[in-house]
Amino acid sequence: MASSKFYAYYIRGRKIALIQHDYTLGSGQTLSQPGLNAVGARGDVLWKSPSESITEGLEIEYAYSPKYSITTAATTQVNKFYINGWTVVDGYLTFLRSHSASVPNWDASPYSAVGDDEHIVIKGSSRWSGLHKVKAGGTDGTLQTYTKVHQSVAVVSGSSNVDIAAESGGLALISTNDASNLWLNSLFSAGDYIFVAGSATAKNNGFWKVDSVASDASVESSSGIYVANRYYCYDSDNILTTEGEDTTVDTTATANESVTIYRAYRDFCYLISDIDALNDEADVIDLPDYLAKALVYYVKAKVAEDRMDLEQKEYNMREFKRLLEKNESSKIWGARRIGSDETAIK
Q: pLDDT tens for residues 154-169?
A: 999 988 999 999 999 9
Give the count of beta carbons closer than 10 Å to the beta carbon of residue 97. Answer: 24
Whole-number Å distance between alpha carbons of 252 and 31: 55
Q: What is the pLDDT of residues 71-124, one digit of tens each?
A: 889 999 999 999 999 999 999 999 999 999 999 999 999 999 999 999 999 999
Question: Percentage of the chain with pLDDT > 90?
Answer: 62
Does position 216 have pLDDT exceeding 50, yes or no?
yes
Q: Which of 217, 211, 199, 207 is nearest to 253 (CA)?
A: 199
pLDDT of residue 346: 47
Is 53 or 240 the better-scoring residue by pLDDT? 240
Q: What is the pLDDT of residues 142-155, one digit of tens each?
A: 999 999 999 999 99
pLDDT tier, 208 (very low <50, low <70, confident <90, very high otherwise) = very high
pLDDT of residue 66: 67
Q: What is the pLDDT of residues 124-143, one digit of tens each?
A: 999 999 999 999 999 999 99
Largest Cα–Cα separation, the chain: 104
Q: With b meaning 16 or more CB within 10 Å and e meaning fewer, what string describes 280-306?
A: eeeeeeeeeebbebbeebbebbeebee
Identity of residue 160? S
Provide the whole-model pTM: 0.71
DSSP letter at 222 equals G
Strand partners, 21: 47
Query: Between helices 289-306 and 310-329, what is the axis angle to 10°?
Result: 160
Q: What's the Cα-to-Cα distance from 339 to each of 34, 336, 343, rounded to whole Å?
A: 42, 9, 6
Q: What is the mean pLDDT of the chain?
A: 85
How far does CA 135 lie from the centroid of its chain? 16
How far does CA 201 lie from the centroid of its chain? 32
pLDDT of residue 330: 76
SS3 185: helix
Residue 180 contacts residue 256 (beta carbons within 8 Å): no
Counts for the chain of helices (H) and strands (E), in that order: 3, 20
What residue segments make up the domains of the chain, in order of their start?
7-48, 70-276, 289-329
pLDDT of residue 240: 79
pLDDT of residue 64: 57
Residue 266 contacts residue 245 (beta carbons within 8 Å): no
Q: In this structure, what is the dihedral angle of CA atoms 39, 42, 44, 50, given to the nearest 10 degrees?
A: -60
Whole-number Å distance between alpha carbons of 307 and 210: 62
Residue 14 contacts residue 5 (beta carbons within 8 Å): no
pLDDT tier, 292 (very low <50, low <70, confident <90, very high otherwise) = confident
Q: Which of 171, 172, 141 is nearest to 253 (CA)?
A: 172
